[in-house]
Amino acid sequence: MNRKDQRRLRKVRRERGDAPRLPDIEAALGQVTALLQGGRAGEARALCQSLLAEQPREHRLLNLAAIACFETGDAATALTLLETAIEHRPDFVDAHNNLGNVLKAEGDLLRAESAYRRAIEIAPTYFDAHFNLGIVLEAMGRPGEARESYTGTPWISSRIFYPRTSTREMHARRSESSTRRWRTTAGSWR
């Protein structure tokens, strides 16, 4: 059956009222995000699995499912889900950033650096990717590059100024105040 026939079949099903009912994706994403923010990653993971059975190519849902997997201790599945999300939507910056987060947590700093650089390439003003790249560069013993990453873009350097603060102090301040802070609009953790 070609695409034209598939569209006709969907149209006929909609008109008859027997089209398969897919959940409202925005509502589902909000529900998953609320569960994650409430510290109920296990429930979020189960909900993601049931939603992914119906919509396996939804990149935002794959991203949230990866976060839920990582929060429940399953980094391997999180990596697979993030790579799938990137495969379906290569310009999805949050998936690249979160891939870097998982790789960084697993100790693969080179691949994490690459993921963050790809996120910055897609969205040059995406602060989280710049900050996370700085943390990775600092961990790799490249403090000069880390400082550039923290303050290197005109958007960041014009809005954020840390007078007499080293990059280590910035990281410590950030880590203390927002260890697992979520960006609810994008489903990304910093």
100-136 per-position pLDDT tens digit: 999 999 999 999 999 999 999 999 888 889 999 999 9
Q: Which of 116, 77, 64, 62 is nearest to 93 (CA)?
A: 116
Show the 3-state SS of the chain.
CCHHHHHHHHHHHHHHCCCCCCCCHHHHHHHHHHHHHCCCHHHHHHHHHHHHHHCCCCHHHHHHHHHHHHHCCCHHHHHHHHHHHHHHCCCCHHHHHHHHHHHHHHCCHHHHHHHHHHHHHHCCCCHHHHHHHHHHHHHCCCHHHHHHHHHCCHHHHHHCCCCCCCHHHHHHHHHHHCCCCEECCCCEEC
pTM of the entire predicted model: 0.70
Query: Is the pLDDT at 176 greater than 80, yes or no?
Result: no
Q: What is the mean pLDDT of the chain?
A: 80
Query: Is the pLDDT at 6 greater than 80, yes or no?
Result: no
Which domains does the chain carry? Answer: 25-90 (1.25.40.10), 114-190 (1.25.40)
